Every structure is written in C-alpha cells, then in structure tokens.
C-alpha cells in the first residue's frame, strides 16, 4: 500500500484541531478588533486538509482500486461467541477522493472569504445593537472564534461522512453536519431585529432533517438485519451474491472466508443470517427488502439534499451568514444525499422501482424550485431555490443510473454555486456599507433590507470585480458553453433523453427557468440606476473576499475539463468506474449529443434574452413593481413558493401545535396536574393523613404512650409514700422482710 494513504486521518483531524484551538484559545488570539487570527488558523487547517486530499488523489493514481485504512475500533460488544464490532476505517477510493477534493478545496476558499465577511458582519451586529467600542470588541472576541470553530467542525463532519467505510460511520458524519447546520443557521439567534427568525430557521432545518434521518436509521437497521454487516464492501458483495443465489449460500461462504481471515469477525451477532429474510412473523422477498432499504435511504436523501417533500428547510437556511449559505449549499451538507445514493449504487441497481422514484422526485424538485426562484426578490433566496433545483438535477441523474453525470454536476455546481453565493455576499456587504454611509448622513432606514434586489441596481459601476465573477457564475449555472455548468448539465440531460423522456422534458423546462431567473437577477442587481441611496454608495469588497471569488470563477470556467465527453477526455467517468460499480463510461461518440446540446443552449440563450427584454431594456425604477406581476395570481403563487409552507402549516404544524397544546394544557396540566395530582392524589393523601394523624397517631399511639406514662406516674406517687425519711420505719421494714423470708424458708422446709 502506498505510504501516502496512511496520512488520510489527518484530513479529518486538521479541521478538528482548528476547532479546538478556536474553542480554547480563540479569545486570546483576538489581540485587537482588527485581529483575524482565528479565521487564519481555521483557513490554514482547511487548507491542510485540502493538501491531504490532493495527496490521496496522487496515491490513487497508482492504486485506483483504493484502500481501507484502519484507524481504530469504534466499539466492540461481545455476546457469547458472537461479537459486534464497528471499526472506524477510512475508505480511500476514487469516489471519496472526488468528494474530499470538492469539500476541502471549495471549503478552504469559503473559509478565507469568511475572514473578511464575518468581520463586517459582526460590526453590523454591533451597530444594530448600539454597542460601544469596548462592547463591540467583546462581541467580536466571542463570536469570531466561535464562528470558525463551527466552520471547522462542519468541514470535519462532512469529511467523516465521505471517508467512512461503513454506513454507521457515514451516519455519524450525516448527523454532525445536521448539528453544525443548526448552529450556523441560527448563529445570530440574538440579533435584535431578526434573532427569533434566525432561531426558528435553525430549528426548522434541524427538525426537517430529523424526519429524513429517521428513514436513514430504519434503512441501516434493515441493511444490518439482511446482510449482517454495515461495511460498504461486504454489504454490496453479499447483495450481489444474494441476487443470484440464496442468502444461506452467500453468507455461509462469506462467513467461512471471514472467519479464516478474522476469527473475531463473527458476523455481528448473526442477526438474520443463515435464514430467510424475516421480520418476526413477516417474511419478505429479497427484492421487496431492497426496495424498502433504498426508499428509506431516499427519504434520508430528501432531507439532507432538500428534495420534495423535505426541501422546505433550505430557503430558511439563508438566515445564516453568507459563508454558511455557501458552505451548506455548495460543498457540504446538501451534497450528502447524492454521495450516499452513489455510494449505494449496487443496492439501487437491484431496486429499479426505487431508482425510478429517485429520478422522478429529482426532476419534479428541479422544476418546482426553478419556478419558485423566478418570483423571489431576496438575492439569497433566489440562489437557495436554485440550489434545490440543481440538486434535483443531480438526484434525477443518479436515479437514472447516471452516477458519473450526478457527481460531475455536484463538482461543477460546487464551483459556480459557491461563486454565486459568495458574490452575493459581496453585494450584500457593499450594500450594507452604503446603507451605513447614508445612515450617518441621516438618510438611513432601520427597516432597510440589504438582500432585497429591489433595493439594488447600478452596482456594476461600484463593484467591478464582483459583477464579472457573478456573470461568470450565472452563465455557468445557466449552462452556457464552454463553462463548466454546460458540460455537466448537458450530460444529465443526455442521460435523461436516453432513459426517460418525461424526466428529460421536466429537466429541460427547469433549465430554461434557471437561465431566466439568473438573467433576471443580474439585470436587477447590477444594471440600470441605483434604486436606493445604499446602492448608490456601495463599494467593492476587500481582496480577502474577492480573491476567492476570482479563483472560483476560474474553476467555474474550466471545471468542465474534468469530464469532457470526447474520447479519452472523459476522465471523471474512468476515475469513478474504479469505485462505483454501475458507473457508465460512454463509448466513443456516446457521451455527447449535438441535438441535446443545441436544444439546451438555445433555450438558455432564449431565456436570457427574455430576461433582458423584461428587465434589461427597461430597468426597474425605485418603487416600481416587478414586471412579472402582470401574471397576477400566477406570480403570487410562485412568489409564495407554491404555498408549500402554508400547506405544511395547515396539514402538519397547526394540527401538531393543537395536539401539543391539548396534551400540555388539557391532559398534562388540567387533568394530570389539577385533577389527578391536586384532586385525587392530594385529597386522598390529606384524608389518610387526617385519619393516621388524629385517630391512629393521637388516639392509639399517643394514647398508649400517655397511658403508660400516667400508670407509671400513679404507681410512683404511691410508692413515694413509703419513703418517709425515718430510720425507725426503715428498720421496721427490714425486720418485716427478715420475718417474711424466715417464714418462707420454714414453709418450704416443712413442706418437703
């Protein structure tokens, strides 16, 4: 084994080290209000993880089949002759390598960007709260290191997820990214204006993801029961065997082999082993169990990767600071579902019904989210729904069996979506600066929303770097050649056109709306005249923020080179084939369709042209209504997000609150507390206490004790009379005693 593989634990431990440094020493590192040491340390640790990821890529060039690097036994439980042993082993293969490179590479750039952004964001918070300079510095000393500690933990959690060699370790990372999203989305829970909303957004993300995670837990239980292991390689090998043979034959052979090589393996308690796949009194066919497992895994993916019906948390996640949005949407949490399905490709290949369901949900999500984005005004929400839509493309791709296309789009999307989110953060940063400048002149508005695109306009003059990189990201997202998004999205559309015409049509329509809403956003934000004083006084962001944008813009431009559909340039497909059993490598001439490419490109250009006609030729003026409002109820329907939140409120949340209130106030308080406790228990206790205290305690117990006392007192008063104090009386008593004793002895003598 290549010695470089032994370095793999460092990919997780570097960001964990950065987290610990910032937790314990972060405040001490903040020497003054301009100190950036906590952010520099966090970024350095993220960068070192990227170096390790690159070294793993280099090592895999020599051993593309990959390796598993043991680190420790997570836990081991013995029961008789059986042992349940779950190892923490790092799986280094071509799929995990791609994920590590994306997570650490894009994550490092976001960390660097966050150094500049969070300084300004904390200053904005101090201004909102009217803090003095000392109080503002104290806020920065507390919150700046805390943010980067959370950020490093988020990165480490995602790396645990993608490097684990079994489902349980993957699930640990799966849960940790959910925890980190909760901490980061609600980071400004104490914001004086929107703190409650931030807290509720974090809670919403956490609760919705727990619903999906329930599906994951059930899927893991079924996998363990069916295959007797959670190790990826063992599960897939046994699944392939059981599809063609019997469970008994597969596991018997596998057990013999494993015991020979590892006597302590013991097949994990033997649950479900060497017997039919049964669940109590129910026995299911292998095909049915595979459908159940894969559908439950899909439920987990709909939570993490924000698909119908569990996508409602992702737009609210915009409550977090912009670097959080970029990290969640581009490189980490939301890609977990695509990775998990791709890693489980063997199981989905055995459950065509589940695979079709995955594709349909992905395509439907792509279309629904794209239409919603058309009618949003918040610059971050447009990008949030765009992320949901693009995740739908990836989910549809892996559902169709296009695992290469799905991972390819995951990688390119990380480039241009991180670019767009961070560029939007640059815009918001500039608008907030302009707002403060006008506020000092007496023109500020405390209700001003720096994220509302209706408050922008004309920013191309004030933010020359940001507009260039933003347009690059927008065109890449729209699928304009030769940018990265064109190649990855076109590959998904090509797979869809070959396998399912309905999926292809839905994704093509979604692609049209994608190009339109990005064109609409660019025209509203950067062109025309400033519609507010804040936009008129905006300024370009500092180099610490714009440098990562330039790097991401380059990646968004050339990222398609990793998998060009021409001959031997199809590198990513060849790379993934080593670890994804059902990854398809197109033959010569199969990886590209001029028809599909022309249709998608023409539609994208037409959508951009339409957005120019509506928003570019007649730019919005201050206070002017959006031209799309002429659509009336349709625009309102899209602006209100198809009323998804209202529907959830009516169907789930309001009934749940009513039930919770009834259980809390009627059952728990009025019945259990007031009636059972106060009326039944307390009155019963008081009644028995009264009986025990008066008749029993005072009457019997006290009466007996007092009676004995009175008897003793009476007897003693009578005996006291014999104590006269006269010697003659005592002598008489002694004489009488002697006489009585002598008489007794004489009687005994004569009686015998």
Q: How confident is the model at residue 99 (pLDDT cuts 50, 70, 90)?
A: very high
d(CA 41, CA 18): 6
d(CA 22, CA 18): 6
Residue 21's pLDDT is what? 95
pTM of the predicted model as reported, rounded to 2 decimal places: 0.85
pLDDT mean across residues, the chain: 86
Say how far apart CA 524 and CA 482 lie, in whole Å: 25
**Helical spans, DSSP H, in 579-725:** 594-611, 633-639, 644-648, 654-661, 683-691, 702-720
Q: How far apart are CA 622 and CA 642, in angstroms?
A: 28
pLDDT, one tens digit per residue, over 116-141 is 888 888 888 888 888 888 888 888 89
Q: What is the pLDDT of residue 245?
A: 60
Q: Is the pLDDT of residue 403 over 90?
A: yes
Interval 490-541: pLDDT, tens: 999 999 998 889 999 999 999 999 999 999 999 999 998 888 888 888 888 8
Is pLDDT at 1 greater than 70 in this prediction? Answer: no
- Which tokens is 366 given? 């792509």
pLDDT at 590 over 80: no
Kindly indicate the confidence band of residue 83, based on its pLDDT and cuts at 50, 70 and 90.
low
pLDDT of 80 higher than 70: no
Q: Round to whole Å and give the CA distance between 184 and 684.
A: 52
Q: Per residue in 676-730, pLDDT tens? A: 777 778 777 777 777 777 787 777 877 888 888 888 888 888 877 777 778 888 8
DSSP tag of 619: P
Note the pLDDT of residue 208. 92
- 439-487, pLDDT tens digit by residue? 655 444 556 788 889 888 888 888 999 999 999 999 999 999 999 999 9
What is the predicted pLDDT for the residue at 270? Answer: 40
pLDDT band at 145 (very low <50, low <70, confident <90, very high): very high
Q: Which of 47-61, 77-91, 717-731 has the highest mean pLDDT?
A: 47-61
User: Between 232-244 and 247-261, two packed helices, what is the crossing angle to 10 degrees?
Assistant: 140
Task: For 241-281, write each residue's pLDDT tens digit.
Answer: 776 665 555 655 554 444 443 333 334 334 444 345 667 67
Q: Is the dihedral of CA 517, 518, 521, 523 positive or negative?
A: negative
Q: How long is the chain?
A: 752
* pLDDT recorded at residue 256: 46
Helix (H, G, I), strand (E, B) or coil at 164: strand
Region 540-546: mean pLDDT is 88
Summarised one tens digit per residue, pLDDT across range 344-360 is 999 999 999 999 999 99
Q: Residue ranges of the domains in the chain?
A: 1-73+89-165, 351-627, 724-752
């Amino acid at each position: 084994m290549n010695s470089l593989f032994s370095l793999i634990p460092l990919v997780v431990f570097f960001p964990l080290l950065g987290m610990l440094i910032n937790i314990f020493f972060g405040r001490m590192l903040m020497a003054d209000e301009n100190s950036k040491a906590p952010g520099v340390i966090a970024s350095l640790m993220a960068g070192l993880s990227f170096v390790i990821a690159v070294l793993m890529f280099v090592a895999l060039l020599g051993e593309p089949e990959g390796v598993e690097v043991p680190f420790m036994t997570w836990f081991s439980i013995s029961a008789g002759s059986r042992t349940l042993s779950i190892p923490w082993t790092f799986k280094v293969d071509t799929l995990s390598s791609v994920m590590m490179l994306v997570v650490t590479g894009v994550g490092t750039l976001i960390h660097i960007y966050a150094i500049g952004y969070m300084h300004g964001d904390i200053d904005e918070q101090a201004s909102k709260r009217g803090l003095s300079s000392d109080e503002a510095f104290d806020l920065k000393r507390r919150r700046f290191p805390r943010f980067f500690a959370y950020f490093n933990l988020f990165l480490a959690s995602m790396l645990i997820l993608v490097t684990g060699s079994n489902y349980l370790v993957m699930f640990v990372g799966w849960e940790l990214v959910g925890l980190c999203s909760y901490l980061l989305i609600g980071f400004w829970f104490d914001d004086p204006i929107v703190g409650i909303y931030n807290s509720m957004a974090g809670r919403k993300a956490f609760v919705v993801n727990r619903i999906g995670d329930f599906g994951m837990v059930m899927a893991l239980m079924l996998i363990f029961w069916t295959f007797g292991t959670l190790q990826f390689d063992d599960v897939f090998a046994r699944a392939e065997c059981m599809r063609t043979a019997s469970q008994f034959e597969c596991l018997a052979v596998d057990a013999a082999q494993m015991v020979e090589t590892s006597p302590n393996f013991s097949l994990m308690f033997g649950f479900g082993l060497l017997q039919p796949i049964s669940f109590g009194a129910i026995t299911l066919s292998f095909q049915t169990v595979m459908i159940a497992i894969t559908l439950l895994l899909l439920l987990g993916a709909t939570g993490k990767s924000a698909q119908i019906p569990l996508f409602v948390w992702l737009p609210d996640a915009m409550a977090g600071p912009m670097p959080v949005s970029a990290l969640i949407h581009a490189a980490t949490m939301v890609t977990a579902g695509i990775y998990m399905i791709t890693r489980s490709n063997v199981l989905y290949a055995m459950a065509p019904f589940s695979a079709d369901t995955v594709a349909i949900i992905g395509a439907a999500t792509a279309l629904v989210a794209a239409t919603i984005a058309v009618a949003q005004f918040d610059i971050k929400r447009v990008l949030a729904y765009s992320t949901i839509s693009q995740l739908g493309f990836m989910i549809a791709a892996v559902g169709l069996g296009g695992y290469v296309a799905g991972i390819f789009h995951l990688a390119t999307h990380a480039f241009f979506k991180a670019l767009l989110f961070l560029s939007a953060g640059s815009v918001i940063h500039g608008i907030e600066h302009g707002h403060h400048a006008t506020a000092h002149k007496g023109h500020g508005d405390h209700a001003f929303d720096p994220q509302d695109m209706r408050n922008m306009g004309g920013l191309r003059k004030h933010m020359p770097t940001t507009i260039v990189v933003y347009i690059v990201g927008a065109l890449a997202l729209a699928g304009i050649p030769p940018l990265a998004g064109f190649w990855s999205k076109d590959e998904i559309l090509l797979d869809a056109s070959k396998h399912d015409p309905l999926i292809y049509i839905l994704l093509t329509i979604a692609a049209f709306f994608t190009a339109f809403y990005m064109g609409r956003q660019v025209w509203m934000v950067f062109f025309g005249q400033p519609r507010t004083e804040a936009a008129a006084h905006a300024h370009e962001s500092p180099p610490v923020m714009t440098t990562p944008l330039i790097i991401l813009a380059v990646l968004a431009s050339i990222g398609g080179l990793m998998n060009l559909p021409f001959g031997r340039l199809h590198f990513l497909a060849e790379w993934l084939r080593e670890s994804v059993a059902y990854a398809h490598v197109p033959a010569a001439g199969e990886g590209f369709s001029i028809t599909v490419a022309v249709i998608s490109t023409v539609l994208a250009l037409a959508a951009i042209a339409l957005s120019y006609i509506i928003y570019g030729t007649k730019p919005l003026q201050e206070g002017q209504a959006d031209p799309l409002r002429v659509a009336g109820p349709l625009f309102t329907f899209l602006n209100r997000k198809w009323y998804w939140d209202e529907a959830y409120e009516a169907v789930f949340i309001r009934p749940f609150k009513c039930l919770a209130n009834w259980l809390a106030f009627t059952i728990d308080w009025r019945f259990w507390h007031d009636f059972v406790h106060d009326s039944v228990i307390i009155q019963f206790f008081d009644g028995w206490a009264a009986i025990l205290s008066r008749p029993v305690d005072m009457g019997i117990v006290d009466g007996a004790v007092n009676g004995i006392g009175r008897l003793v007192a009476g007897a003693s008063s009578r005996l006291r009379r014999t104590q006269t104090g006269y010697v003659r009386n005592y002598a008489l008593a002694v004489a009488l005693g002697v006489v009585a004793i002598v008489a007794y002895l004489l009687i005994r003598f004569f009686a015998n």
